[in-house]
Structure 1
Amino acid sequence: MAWTMRRHLSKVEIVPKQVGNLADGFPRAVPGTLCVRGTNGEIRVAPDAGFDVIFGRCEPDVHVCVGPNDLYVSRQHGRITYEHAQWILYNLGKLPIRFPGGRLVLAGQRATLPVAHTPLFIVAPEQEHLLEVRIVMTPPSPGPENRQEADTRDPAGWDLSPNERLVLTCLAQRYLRPEPWPQPLTWAQVEDELRVLRPGEGWTAKRAAHIVTQTRKRLSAKVPGLLEEEIPPPLGNTLNHNLITALLTSATIGASDLRLLDEPRSSP
């Protein structure tokens, strides 16, 4: 692929294998720059380069090598291309590619990559092979040369009212403890807990569900997967699970909120 690379040298950078991972940081780059890291190094591509990144087992035929010794991985297992102001992943191989959270992109399917650090896994019968992807959101601001001593940044998160935080903590408590394979509590369970915890406040399953529904709708403009029309039936716990996951990953709620379930408050 040397001839392809020469056409785009000003917007494409090949980086040798490095220690660490893409979550540790990213060099200064224009917003939308794609970085893909595999077994033997990485490639960085500007969004206007007009350049497709090919990854797979056969190093001479790909830009990023992944699973070089696993014959289940295709020689050219996937392609990442910039379309309609988004980076799109195409699965060209036979094995599925797994996103964080368990979503599988099957052979012949495509998926939009989030503007974030995304570890992808080619799911082979004997092992999974990591392909790291990161898309630059904004140019990083100059910071201290030693980032280990810099102040920790707080995640953005979202504001919650006291009642929202109480109900959502109760609903999500299996995730916060944490328990293996957690699921949201049922509305009946939420009602029972809140009636005991806050007697005299008129807690019902319907009231709790209404509060959570309004929270989902408020955050749906920023978080995908929170509306019924976005999820194919049967819905089950999917909407509440997606909401809880979004609240956890944004640090909007955390294990410290469990104190709300241990602090009964007398009615006014």
Structure 2
Amino acid sequence: MTPSASLARGVAPTQPGTLHVRSVTGDLSAPPRPGLTVSFGRGEKPDVDLGVGVDDLRVSRRHGELTYRQGYWWLRNIGQQLVRLPRGRMMHLTSEPIPLATGYTPLFVKGSGYREHLVELYVASHDDQGPVSRRRAETARPETWALDDDERLLLVVLGQRYLLYEEDPRPLTYAMAAKQLAYLCPDARWNERKIEYRVEAVRRRLDRTGFKYPLMHDKAQGRPADNGLLHNLLKGLVESTTLVPPDLDLMEDEATWPDSAP
């Protein structure tokens, strides 16, 4: 493997296809020049262009490459450890290269123990200025989803382990949730069938809103267990702060909940 082609620094960020790469050790920009390769890893120049995990022997000296061809920057893992991408996608050194979409893509290089080394990638589009400082701008509020009172109580009961931030949480079964809901709201006539109906209604509604995780069955891939879709729903609601730990108080004061229609 030959060293990467020389990188252009100070490239105008308005040029579409410009690649910006950043880690804790530094940053660089590269123009969309066919055949140009940007490399990262534990090694030093000229073997790599950007240092990543420089004190971690689990990170390969040349761990990954980004090469511009066919109008895209193609990411390739050439290290011994996995590279993790958004949505849990993993890349092994035998994985095929993948093209980067415009905009921001974080990747994580697996290291020693629980260590993961972040590499931030940004590909400029036709109408942006690349990554810019926004230190003085107002903080954007998290995107949350509206839930009515019954839905919130139901999802808090089903997802109480998520709201306790347990490691690898799982939803309560519908049978367990029905027992707790019957105690909290005895006049609401909660049962497993009603829970299933209300959960599916929430999934259908939120699936049309750009929810982070899949909420409906993919007919092309068969019919997965509903428990997996419920896990996606609860995980997304907690991560977005639609459901937050203080919501657990709803399970302690049933007097605050009006009777619900069956």
> One fold, TM greater than 0.5?
yes
Tell me the residue number matched to 1:54: 39
Letter in 2 for 1:120: F
Are positions 1:239 and 2:229 aligned together?
yes
Contact persistence 2:81–2:109 (CA under 8 A):
no
5+ residue gaps, structure 2, are: none
Contact persistence 2:4–2:38 (CA under 8 A):
no
* 1:204-219 superposed matches below 5 A: 204-219=191-206
TM-score of the aligned structures, taking structure 2 as reference length: 0.71
For residue 123 of structure 1, the aligned residue among 111, 129, 144 is 111
For residue 178 of structure 2, the aligned residue among 191, 210, 235 is 191
Change beyond 3 A, Cα 1:246–1:116 = farther
Letter in 2 for 1:10: V
**In 1: Cα distance, 2:119 partner to 2:165 partner:** 27
Tell me the residue number matched to 2:91: 105
Shift of residue 135, structure 1, vs aligned partner: 4.0
Letter in 1 for 2:27: E
Name the count of aligned residue pairs: 245
Are positions 1:227 and 2:216 aligned together?
yes
Tell me the residue number matched to 2:52: 66
Change beyond 3 A, Cα 1:2–1:77 = closer
5+ residue gaps, structure 1, are: 13-28
Are positions 1:41 and 2:13 aligned together?
no
Are positions 1:267 and 2:259 aligned together?
yes
Shift of residue 146, structure 1, vs aligned partner: 6.2
CA root-mean-square deviation: 4.0
TM-score of the aligned structures, taking structure 1 as reference length: 0.70
Q: Percent identity, please.
A: 32
Contact persistence 1:32–1:135 (CA under 8 A):
no
SS of equivalent to 2:106: strand
Change beyond 3 A, Cα 1:123–1:193 = same
Which of structures 1 and 2 has the bigger CA Rg?
Answer: 2
SS of equivalent to 1:157: coil
* 1:74-113 superposed matches below 5 A: 74-80=60-66, 89-99=75-85, 104-109=90-95
Shift of residue 239, structure 1, vs aligned partner: 2.0
Shift of residue 68, structure 1, vs aligned partner: 3.0
Q: Deviations over 1:76-116 (max 9, x none)?
A: 21234678998764322221123578654333235677865
**In 2: Cα distance, 1:219 partner to 1:164 partner:** 12
Higher mean C-alpha displacement, 68-77 vs 158-167? 68-77
Contact persistence 2:83–2:107 (CA under 8 A):
no
Change beyond 3 A, Cα 1:136–1:92 = closer
